[in-house]
Structure 1
Amino acid sequence: MQIVATELRPGYIIVHNGQLHRVLSVVHITPGNWRGMVQCKLRNLKSGNQLEHRFRSEDRVEKATLDTHEMQYLYSDNSGHHFMNMETYEQITLSDEVLGDALSYLLPDTVVTVDFYEGNPVSVELPNTVVLTVVETEPPLKGATAAGGSKPAKLETGLVVQVPMFVETGTKIVVDTRTGEYVSRA
């Protein structure tokens, strides 16, 4: 489906130079008496590389038509990461490349949205927050408060986040999957 460059929005997946790219940010530029432009940050879904591209306002862009399915994460092994379609119960295996950073937030039974382009999985969308358990951190300081600084904590998935000083090993915490930051105790 062709759209005008001024209709681009963050989150759209477009075909640019023959490859799929996710639009990360869009800035409309109208310099004085020149023609308007649309400056976009794009991420190549295959390689993961980011690039910036400037479209003219009148340029037409190919918006990829995606099928999205709710999938439940089951487990990982040497052949990949196994997911089950919540509607058809069909199981698929996704590679590290498709999952990318999402691996750091996945626990068994986590439900994610998987985008398919021409029958192939191209990206995974996580819930905005996930609850993970702290498996390793320094002991809490006596009298530590929320405003008293932070320390690194290793979570059950291997992800390391900065947490307040009062968080102990074994505590369940809420982590924002978009920023990778501590939100609160669960």
Structure 2
Amino acid sequence: MKVAASSLRKGAVVDMEGRLYVVLTAENIHPGKGTPVTQLNMRRISDGVKVSERWRTTEQVERAFVDDRDYNFLYNDGEGYHFMNPENFDQVVVPEDVVGDNASWLQDGMTCILSLHEGVPIAMQLPSRVTFEIAETEPAVKNQTASSSYKPAILTNGARVMVPPYIAAGTRIVILTEDGTYIERAKD
């Protein structure tokens, strides 16, 4: 299926010369003078090689047919990351290179969107926000303003994030999965 290059987003799968590529980043560039272009950073699914391509925004690109479905995360072992389809209880093993940096944000039972091409998982999309508890952080310093400074904290999953000074250990916080930044205290 042909689509405009400007419509491609992160996680889309492109077919170039018979090889499948998953889009890692997509940026539409509109210079003051000249033709607008779309810059795509992609990973070849077959061997993991990263490539960068640039197209005019109006050019047509072949988008591969991919089946996107909700899957629940079960566990991780030597084989890879195991997910289950909640509709028919089929299980899928996702290799570590497909999960990538998203591994630190996975929680038991979390619903993720897996992209499958001919039954093989090729891309994964996490929920935009996740909630974690802070395992340890420095104590708050008196007379420190909340607006301009942040302090390091370690979450229960081992990830490091920067949080405002009033956040203490044991507090549940909401994290943006795209870049691992603090959003707010959890409301639960």
TM over 0.5: yes
Compute the displacement of 1:130 (Å): 0.3
Structure 2 residue aligned with 1:127: 127
- Distance between the aligned counterparts of 2:49 and 2:147, measured in 1? 36
What aligned pairs does 1:1-186 form with structure 2 within 5 A after superposition? 1-5=1-5, 7-11=6-10, 12-16=12-16, 18-22=19-23, 24-27=25-28, 29=30, 36=35, 38-44=37-43, 46=45, 47=48, 49=50, 51-56=51-56, 59-142=59-142, 144-186=144-186
Q: Secondary structure at the match of 1:103?
A: helix
- Distance between the aligned counterparts of 2:167 and 2:49, measured in 1? 33
Q: Secondary structure at the match of 1:146?
A: coil
How many percent of aligned residue pairs carry the same amino acid? 30
Q: Secondary structure at the match of 1:99?
A: helix
Compute the displacement of 1:57 (Å): 5.7
Q: Deviations over 1:117-139 (max 9, x none)?
A: 12110111111100011112112
1:136–1:61 Cα change, 3 Å: same
- TM-score, normalised to structure 1, is 0.84
- Distance between the aligned counterparts of 2:142 and 2:66, measured in 1? 52
1:105–1:157 Cα change, 3 Å: same
Q: Secondary structure at the match of 2:99?
A: helix
CA RMSD in angstroms comes to: 2.4
Conserved? CA contact 2:13–2:21, under 8 Å: yes
1:68–1:116 Cα change, 3 Å: same
Q: Deviations over 1:145-185 (max 9, x none)?
A: 53251111111222111111111111110000112100011
Q: Secondary structure at the match of 2:61?
A: strand
1:133–1:45 Cα change, 3 Å: farther
Structure 1 unaligned residues grouped into runs of 5+: none
Aligned residues: 182
- Distance between the aligned counterparts of 1:29 and 1:163, measured in 2? 35
Q: Deviations over 1:44-74 (max 9, x none)?
A: 153273x432224664321011101111111
Moved over 3 A (4+): 28-32, 56-60, 142-145
Conserved? CA contact 2:173–2:183, under 8 Å: yes
Q: Secondary structure at the match of 2:163?
A: strand
- Distance between the aligned counterparts of 2:61 and 2:152, measured in 1? 43
